[in-house]
A and B are shown apart, each in its own frame.
Chain A
Amino acid sequence: DAKTTQPNSMESNEEEPVHLPCNHSTISGTDYIHWYRQLPSQGPEYVIHGLTSNVNNRMASLAIAEDRKSSTLILHRATLRDAAVYYCILRAGNQFYFGTGTSLTVIP
Chain B
Amino acid sequence: GAVVSQHPSRVICKSGTSVKIECRSLDFQATTMFWYRQFPKQSLMLMATSNEGSKATYEQGVEKDKFLINHASLTLSTLTVTSAHPEDSSFYICSARRQGGGGNTIYFGEGSWLTVV
Contact = CB atoms under 8 A, between A and B. Distances in A.
Contact of B105 (A34, A51, A98, A99): A34
A43 B105 contact: no
Contacts of B97: 94
A42 B109 CA distance: 8
Q: What secondary structure prevails in chain B residues at the interface with A? A: strand
Interface string B13-49: 0000000000000000000101010000001111001
Interface residues of B, number: 26
Q: Which of B1, B32, B46 has its CB near the most chain A CB atoms (within 10 A)?
A: B46
Contacts of A49: 102-103, 105
A96 B46 contact: yes
B46 A44 contact: no
B68 interface: no
A43 B111 CA distance: 5
B109 A46 contact: no
B24 to A, nearest CB: 13
Q: What secondary structure prevails in chain A residues at the interface with B? A: loop
B32 A94 contact: yes
Nearest to A101: B43
Contacts of B4: 43
Interface string A83-107: 0000100010011111111000000
A91 B34 contact: no
A43 B103 contact: no
Contacts of A100: 43
Contact of A41 (B32, B44, B49, B111): B111
29 contacts: A32-B102, A32-B104, A34-B103, A34-B105, A34-B106, A41-B111, A41-B113, A42-B110, A42-B111, A43-B6, A43-B111, A44-B44, A44-B108, A45-B108, A46-B1, A46-B108, A49-B103, A51-B102, A51-B103, A91-B103, A95-B34, A95-B49, A96-B34, A96-B106, A98-B36, A98-B43, A98-B44, A98-B45, A98-B46
Interface of A: 32, 34, 36, 41-46, 49-51, 87, 91, 94-101
